[in-house]
Structure 1
Amino acid sequence: MKRTNAPMGVMSAIAIAIAIAVPLSAPAPAHAQQVATSAVEAGEASPPVAQEANRDQEPNQQDAVQGLQVKAQEPEGFWKGSSLAIRPRTYYLDRDRDSKPDNEGWALGGAIEFKSGWAADVLQVAATVYTSQELYAPADKDGTLLFKPGPEQFTVLGEAYVTARFGEGDGLRVGRQSFDLPWLARHDVRMAPNTFEAIATGRPAKTGLAYIAGYVDKIKRKDDDEFIPMSEAAGAAGSDEGLGLVGAQYTFSDGSLVGFTNQASFDVMNTFFIKAEKSFDIGQDVSIRGYAQYTDQRSEGDELIGGFGTHLVSVKGELFYPNASFRLAASRAGSGRGLQSPFGGPPNYLSIIVDNFDRAGEEAYMVGASYDFKGVGVEGLSAFTNISTGNTPDSGPNASPDETEYDLTVDYRFGKSSALDRLWIRVRGAYIDQDERDTNGDDYFDFRIIVNYAFDIF
C-alpha cells in the first residue's frame, strides 16, 4: 500500500494552526451518546453510568433520543442572560487510498455563537455562524467534506431560531436549528454540523419522560452553505418534501432507559427506531451496561427514491471500571437494501470513525476498549480503540467487499488550572482493510488531527 506524506509545509502549518487556536477556542463535545447531554444542558445532574458511557464521544454515532434543549431552571433576563462565544476549530484529514484517488485537506474555522437570555421569562433568540476556510485544499484530493465540493471554502448562518419556553422545561423552537437524534442529527464530524430549518417542540429530562416532535423542511449538510429540501437531500432530485418527526425517551432513576423515534420523510421513506439500555452493578465501582436497538426503514408514498424495505438490529455490552471500559457489539442489516442516512446520525453501535457497517445484508462485530490516563496520574489524556469487521453478500445486486476497520483515538483536554483551559486536541487514525478479491475493494488509511478551543466574549 502506498503512502503519500503531507508536504512539510502543510505539517508545519498544522503546528501554526494549533498556535492560532490556542488564544481562540473549541466547540463543545460533538454528540453525546446518552440522554445525559439533555440533562446537563437543562442544569441537572446525570446518572453516573451515563457519564462514563459518554466519555469516548464518538461523533459518528448518534443513538440518544433527546428532547428539545430548553433550560429548566429559572431564566435570566434577555440581556443579562445573553452570551457570545467563539469556538475555533482546525481540522486536518488525510485519506491515503491504495487504488482510488486520495483525499486530503486542512481547514481553519469554527463557529461564533450568540444566545440571548429570556425576554419576559418566555422568549429566547439564538444564532450561530459557521465557517470553514482553506489552509490546504488540493483540487486533485477533494472529497474530505471539510469544504464544499471543488474544494471551496464557505461561511453560513447555520442556526437562527426563536425559542418559546412554557411549563417546566417545555419549549417550542422555530427557525434554523440542530437536532441530536438517531438518523437526524448534527453529525459534527467535520468543520460544520448539519443544521435544519424546522419547527419543533419538546423537553429534556434527567429522569422520567423526554420528548420531541416537529416538522423539518430543509437541511444544510456539513459540507455546504445552502439549505435544500429534505427529500432532495435523500436523493429525490427536484423534489420539495419535508420530514415529520416524533420521539420520546423514558429514563429510570437507575439510569436504565427506553426510547423511540419515528421520522416520516414524506413520499421518500419512513424510519422507525427503538432502543433500550440497562446497567447491572457487579462489584464496587464496576458495572455492565447492555444496549439494544432496532431500526425499520422503508419507502413510503410516491417512493421518490424507489421502493425498498430494510432493517438494522444492533446490540452492545460494555464493562465499566472507574478509568477504563471494554465492549463487544454486533449488528445485522436487512438484505433488501443498505440503511439510508442522508440526514446524519447513524445510530449503529458499530458506527465508528469511517464506516457505519450497515450495508445490505451485512453482519458485523466489534471489540473495543477505552482508558482515561488520570488513573495513572495524567489528567486530561484519554484514548479509545475499536476493531469492527463486516461481512456482506459475495454475489447478487447487494454484493460488496468484506472489510475490517481498525481505529485509535487519542484525546487531550487541558484542565481548568491550565492557561489553555478548554483547549481540546484530538488525533484519530483508522485503517480500513477491504477484501481486494472484490474489484471494488480498496485498502486505505484515514488520519485526522482536530484542534478545538472555546472562549466566551460575554
Structure 2
Amino acid sequence: MSIHQVPFGISLLGLQLSFIASAMAADTQVYEYEPNQQSDIVPLDVQDTERRAFLDDTSLIFKPRSYYLDRDRDTNPDSEGWALGGALEYKSGWWVDRLRLGATLYTSQKLYAPSDKDGTLLFKPGPESFTTLGELNVTYRFSENHGIRAGRQRFGLPYLGSHDIRMVPNTFQGVAIGSVASEGFAYMAGYVDKIKRKNDDDFISMSEAAGAEGSNKGVYFAGARYQLTERILLEGIYQRTEDVFDTFFMKAEGPLYRVNDYKIKGFLQYTDQSSTGDNLIGDFDTSLLSAKLEMSKGPVSWRVAYSTTDDSFGIQKPYGNPSNYLSVIVDDFDRAGEDAWLIGGSYGFGKVGPGELSTFANIVRGDTPDTGINASADETEYDITFDYRIQEGWAERLWIRTRLAYVNQDEALGGNDFVDFRIIINYDFGLL
C-alpha cells in the first residue's frame, strides 16, 4: 500500500467537510445510517390499524441486493468479492385478527469470488454461494398492542441482532413476547435457542456461536423502552447465555439544547458483561461507556464521541449488533483497555436528478495498552460514505451506497494498514 493512500483518505473527508461548511443555510434533509450503531429495544410488529382480511393483507416483497467489497491489506492476504442475491419476504394478513405468518428466503450468489481472496463474509467460507430460509415464524396477537412471535426471526436488539452489513443478516430461532407503544412504555422478552450467522446457512446454538464448542445453551433476554416524548428515549436490556456470559445494556438519548435552527442532542450508553456459571469461554468481567454529542442545522450534522472499555477484557458480541457510538465501517473500538475518540459530520445535498444524495464521514482514534496480556495495536480509522436514494419512477426505493475506509494501525504491535472499499445496491418491490 502506498503512503499516498493516507492523505487520499483524509482529502476525501476534507472535501466532504468543505461541502458542509459551505451549506449551513440550506434546508435539506440529513440522511445518515450507520448499521453498526442502529440497535434499539424494537417492539414486535403486532399493530395493524387497517384490519384487513388474511389474504387481502398478504404481501410478497422481493429485495434484491448487490454487494462488492475489496479489502486491500499491506501484509495480510487481501479479501475481495462481488455478490448478487437478496431476500424474498412473505407476510400474511391477520387470520381471525390474531395470527400472522412470516417467512424470508435469503441468497448470496457469487459473481466474483477468487479463492485466494476469501474472508469478505459475503459468502460461506470457500468461498461458496448459499441460499437459506432465514425466517419462518408465526405471530399471535393476544391484545391490541401485545403479541408473541415464535420460530426463525430477526432481532434488532443491542448485542442480539441482525447486524445486516453483508448480503444476508443474522437470523435467530426462538420465541419473543412484547408490546407496541409509540410513546410511553414498551417491553420485549424471550428466549433464543439458535443463530444463523450472516455468512452461513445453518443454525447453531447460541453458546457455540459465542465460542463454547460442543455446548447447547441459549440466550434469555428481557428489555424495556420508555419514550418520554418523541425525542427523549430511555432503554435497558439484560441478556444471559447460561454458563457463558451475561450482558446488561442501558442508554439515554435526547435533546440538550435548541436555539433558532441549531439543535444539540446528547447520547449516553453503558454495557456491562461478565462470565457466568461454568465460564465456558473464560472467566471475565468488563464494561464499556460511550457518549456522543451531535449538533445539527438544516442539512448539516456534526458529532463528537468518546468511549472507554475496561482493561480486563474486550466486549463480547457474538450475536451481532455491537452497541458503541464509535462503531463504524470496519472496527468497533471496544477492545480491552481501549479509549477511543470520534469526530464526524453529515450533509444532505438534496435533490440530484431523480433522487437525493447525502454523505457522512468519521475519523475514529483508538488507543489500547502497549504492554501486558491485552496489549494491541493503536489504530485510526478514516471513513466516508455516499448514499443516493432514488424516489421516483420505476426505480423508486433504489438505494446506492458507496463506502471507503482507511485503517492505520501501529505496526510495532502487529498492526496491519488496509483500505476497505464497498458498493452496495439495495432495491425492493412488491410482487403481491
Q: Same fold (TM over 0.5)?
A: yes
Q: Does the Cα contact within 8 Å between 1:201 and 1:213 map onto a contact in 2?
A: yes
Indicate whether 1:195 and 2:195 are aligned.
no
Q: Does 1:56 align with 2:35?
A: no
Is it true that 1:454 corresponds to 2:424 in the alignment?
no
Give the conservation status (yes or no) of the 8 Å contact 2:354–2:390. Answer: no
* Between 220-229 and 272-281, the greater mean CA deviation after superposition: 272-281
Q: What residue in structure 2 maps to residue 423 of structure 1?
A: 398
The reply to whether residue 218 of structure 1 matches residue 198 of structure 2 is: no
2:276 matches 1:300: yes
Q: Deviations over 1:283-305 (max 9, x none)?
A: 23321110000000000011100
CA separation of 1:378 and 1:86: change in aligned 2, threshold 3 A = closer
Partner in structure 1 of residue 323 of structure 2: 347
2:69 is matched with 93
Q: What is the match of residue 45 of structure 1?
A: none
Letter aligned with residue 238 of structure 1: G
Query: Aligned-pair distance for 1:457?
Result: 0.5
1:69 Cα deviation from its structure 2 partner: 2.4
Task: Kindly state the Cα deviation for residue 377 of structure 1 after the two structures are TM-superposed.
Answer: 9.2
In structure 2, what residue type is equivalent to 1:447? F
Q: What is the rounded CA distance, in whole Å, between the counterparts of 1:431 and 1:65 in structure 2?
A: 32
Q: How does 1:150-161 map to 2 (within 5 A)?
A: 150-161=126-137
Letter matched to residue 431 of structure 1: Y
Secondary structure of 1:437's match? helix
Change (3 A) 1:267 1:84: same
Aligned to 2:314: 338
TM-superposed CA distance for 1:65, in Å, is: 1.9
Partner secondary structure for residue 168 of structure 2: coil
1:434 aligns with 2:409: yes
Cα offsets for 1:201-256 (capped at 9, x unmatched) = 10232211121000000000000000000000000000000000000110112410
Q: 1:169 aligns with which of 130, 136, 145?
A: 145
Matched to 2:321, the amino acid is G
Whole-angstrom CA distance in 1 between matches of 2:179 and 2:166: 28
Residue pairs, 1:114-263, within 5 angstroms: 114-263=90-239
**Could you give the per-residue CA deviations for residues 33-61 of structure 1, whole angstroms, max 9, x where no partner exists?**
xxxxxxxxxxxxxxxxxxx88x3111122
In the alignment, which residue of structure 2 is the partner of 1:383? 359
**Structure 2 partner of 1:66:** 42
How far 1:379 sits from its partner (Å)?
4.7
Letter matched to residue 450 of structure 1: I
User: What's the CA shift for 1:374?
Assistant: 1.2
Secondary structure of residue in 2 paired with 1:419: helix
Aligned to 2:59: 83
Q: Aligned partners of 2:408 and 2:112: how far apart in 1? A: 27
Contact 2:351 2:357 in 1 (8 A): no
CA distance in 2 between counterparts of 1:168 and 1:287 reads: 36
Secondary structure, in 3 states, of the residue corresponding to 2:407? strand
CA–CA distance in structure 2, aligned partners of residues 377 and 131 of structure 1: 32
Cα offset, 1:159, TM superposition: 0.2
2:415 is aligned with 1:444: no
CA shift digits 1:114-150 (9 cap, x unpaired)? 0000000000001000000000111110000000011
- 1:334-386 Cα shifts (integer Å, max 9, x gaps): 11110010000001000000000000000000001001111899951000001
| Counterpart secondary structure, 1:176 | strand
Give the distance between the partners of 2:352 and 2:121, measured in 1 at CA.
Answer: 37
Determine the structure 2 residue equivalent to 1:397. Answer: 373
CA distance in 1, matches of 2:186, 2:288: 24
- In the alignment, is the contact (CA less than 8 A) between 1:258 and 1:275 conserved in 2? yes
> Secondary structure of the equivalent of 1:140?
helix
State the distance in 2 between where 1:106 and 1:376 align. Answer: 27
Separation (CA, whole Å) in 2 of partners of 1:378 and 1:123: 40
Give the RMSD, CA atoms, in angstroms: 1.5
Would the alpha carbon gap of residues 77 and 252 (structure 1) be closer, same or farther in structure 2, given more than 3 Å must change? same
Other structure's SS at 2:116 match: helix
Contact 1:323 1:375 in 2 (8 A): no
Higher strand share: 2
Q: Which runs of 5 or more structure 1 residues have no equivalent in the other structure? A: 4-51
Q: Of the candidates 326, 329, 342, which is equivalent to residue 305 of structure 2?
A: 329
The aligned amino acid for 1:106 is W
**Distance apart, 1:408 and its partner CA:** 0.3
Shift of 1:191: 0.3
Conservation of the 8 A alpha-carbon contact between 1:115 and 1:126:
yes
Structure 2 unaligned regions, length at least 5? 4-28
- Counterparts of 1:134 and 1:370, CA distance in 2: 33
Contact 1:373–1:379 at 8 Å: present in 2 too?
Answer: no
Contact 1:62–1:185 under 8 Å retained in 2: no
CA–CA distance in structure 1, aligned partners of residues 352 and 199 of structure 2: 40
Partner of 1:35: none
Distance of 2:355 and 2:36 partners within structure 1: 25
CA distance in 1, matches of 2:230, 2:87: 36
Code of the aligned partner of 1:398:
N
Q: CA offset at residue 273 of structure 1?
A: 0.1
Question: Contact 1:208–1:251 (CA<8 Å) still a contact in 2?
Answer: yes
Counterparts of 1:122 and 1:204 in 2: how far apart (Å)? 15
Q: How far did 1:313 drift? A: 0.2
TM-score by length of 1: 0.87
Task: Provide the C-alpha distance between the structure 1 equivalents of 2:408 and 2:168, rounded to a whole number of angstroms.
Answer: 28
What SS does the aligned partner of 2:350 have?
helix
Q: TM-score with structure 2 length normalisation?
A: 0.92
Mapped contact 1:72–1:169 kept (Cα < 8 A) = no
Instruction: Give the deviation of 1:74 after TM superposition.
Output: 4.1
